[in-house]
Chains A and B, each alone.
Chain A
Amino acid sequence: MRAHLIALGAIVVVVAAAVFGLRSAVALDLLFTLLLYAVLGQSWNWISGYGGNISFGHAIFFGCGAYASALCVTHGLSPWLAIPAGALVAALLAIVTGFPTLALRGHYFSIATIAVAALVDAFVRTTPWLGKATGFELPIAPGWATMQFPQKGTYVALALILFAAVQLATMALERSRMGYYLRALRANHAAAAAVGIDERRVKLVAFAWSATMAAVAGVLYAQYTLFVDPPSTIALAISIDIALIGVVGGIGTLWGPAVGALVYVVLAKAVALQLGGAGKGYDLVIYGAIICLIAALRPYGIVGTIVDALRRRRGAEAAA
């Protein structure tokens, strides 16, 4: 626990220093993307990693935040209001869709998330007040009230705060009763139910919090890009990216999503630098290969493997 807090503190200090020190827009953009993906990966990790219900439709919760932001701005309200509003809508969507589907096992749940996400996507694309397929372009109006900043560093700082909050919440989850319930359910749901754990309630709470985190990230994203449309927020491709980040780093671990986001961002950038526009697809090949290797050899991802190795070493030392 202390080690985790120190690690988080160190990350916050380093990133904060980078915000003040870096002038390069490209570097700040990378940093923002990295933090945002880490938050989305952790959000996914709550329900799919700790909860064991693998979601392939997580982008709809991200979309709740982004669309809440767009709607607030286009109706003359401050996007800060979109944080509670988007989070509330996302949590409600999670509860309404999770209530019937969370009881489904394995692939039934995963395919249900794809179906729900596709329905949400179809709804948004045909609903005039949600901008249909064209979406929203948000007017430029810098200021704290409009959550628009001339310096990219400010966005990075906000993303850093969100990331730190999400990591702290996850540390709390790992040590909380609910964290133990989730792990017990994942290990053996029948045994967990037999000792009186209410699976539906525990998972609904985890799902609602997971959706909330993704929605807040969505608000920040909308204010950063000032553009919200279905392909950039709620499409299946975004859901797949979120799951990818969660899986690569390691499911059900505190730092897995951050590591996954780092791998994702670094690879995407490296491929773009090496191959330019022609490199489309090569990054997918590499992620795909990583996921295949992890699934075949080390199903608990990069962080899971490290944790395992540490445990074994500690065990060996204790034995010696």
Chain B
Amino acid sequence: MDALATPAQLLVGGLLTGLVFALVAVGLTLIYGVMDVVNFAHGEYLMLAMYATLALALLGIGPLVGLPLVAIALFLFGIVVYRVFIRRLLAGPPEATVFGTFGMLVLLQGLAQATLTSDYQSIPNPPFHGTIRVGAIAVSQATLIEGIGALVLTAALFAFVEFTETGRAMRAVAEDRIAATLMGIDVQRINGLAFGIGAACVGAAGALLMLSYPVYPTVGAAFALTAFVVVALGGFGSIQGALVGALLVGLLEVFGGFYLSPELKLVPVYLAYLIVVLLRPQGLLGRR
């Protein structure tokens, strides 16, 4: 029994970590799927969302109440970014979107470093701090809430894209932009919505993460790198793929951190990325 306790503990930890990665990654994959843009600034959006949650918490609004507010704020931010910036990039050569979102990463990163302290900051009075025990497995309440919240929101996004009229329009644009235009779909509107929703997902993820993580100006980098790997593993543009990829990455990271060493925890993750893109570039669940 004891020999199995550690792997079981790691399994649960890995899956819960993976669920949060999934919520960060679905935003990225939705944006990519609809408009072929890899948002290199995605991690910085997460950083913005975490600081927004912190600010609300300092005003006395807890992360779970703050979550919809932060998600809406990021949604509006995403729409504005699409309208004034991404739309122009799409009109340029293909490299423009890589450079443009990279520029945005540098800009937001600089803003955070210039205006905020580089100290790690956590929310005052985190609402969940106990541990739940099931047999030999212990899970912190905060991590459990984060994982469940992320799963619910990821499922909600999937249902939205799969079953609503707007979601259908998004899939149509993803499939064939020109045909979608001919069917009377306003591609600019759909692109803007998709970018906004992608940002809202990472906004919600940021709010959830503040339950157990501290925020600091460069917090986005680690999450963004993981999100790229997740999205590539699952197949760029595939929401189910992102969920599967995220769970896999969560497990790799937690098991890697335990059996190798904490500083090597990302090594299996990156190796997995390289192996998958070389052997199966469309990702585990992607189609080409």
Contact = CB atoms under 8 A, between A and B. Distances in A.
**Are the chains A and B members of one assembly?**
yes
Interface of A: 52, 54, 56, 100-101, 104, 106-108, 110-112, 114-116, 118-119, 122, 125-126, 236, 240, 243-244, 247, 251, 279-292, 294-297, 299
A127 B278 CA distance: 27
B109 A288 contact: yes
A279 B110 CA distance: 10
A283 B218 CA distance: 16
A281 B106 contact: no
B144 interface: no
B105 A296 contact: no
Contacts, number: 134
A115 B229 contact: yes
Contacts of A243: 102
Nearest to A251: B95
A288 B108 contact: yes
A287 B98 contact: no
Interface string B69-112: 00000000000000001001100111111111011111111111
A104 B277 contact: yes
A101 B281 CA distance: 11
B277 A112 contact: yes
Contact of B109 (A122, A125, A284): A284
Interface of A is mostly: helix
Interface of B: 38, 85, 88-89, 92-100, 102-115, 217, 221, 225, 228-229, 232, 261, 263-264, 266-267, 270-271, 273-274, 277-278, 281
Given A111-B273, A288-B107, A296 B96 contact: yes
Contacts of B97: 295
B62 to A, nearest CB: 29
A240 B217 CA distance: 16
Contacts of A247: 99, 102-103
A285 to B, nearest CB: 4
Given A243-B102, A291-B103, A297-B88, A285 B225 contact: no
A297 to B, nearest CB: 7
B103 A295 contact: yes
Contacts of A52: 95
Given A295-B92, A296-B100, A287 B274 contact: no
A296 B89 contact: yes
Nearest to B221: A236
A287 to B, nearest CB: 6
Given A122-B264, A283-B110, A299 B95 contact: yes
Contacts of B274: 100-101, 112, 115-116
Contacts of B106: 240, 244, 284, 287-288, 291
A284 B115 CA distance: 12
Nearest to A97: B274
Nearest to A291: B103
Contacts of B114: 279-282, 284-285
A283 B113 CA distance: 10
Contact of B100 (A240, A282, A291): A291
A110 B38 CA distance: 10
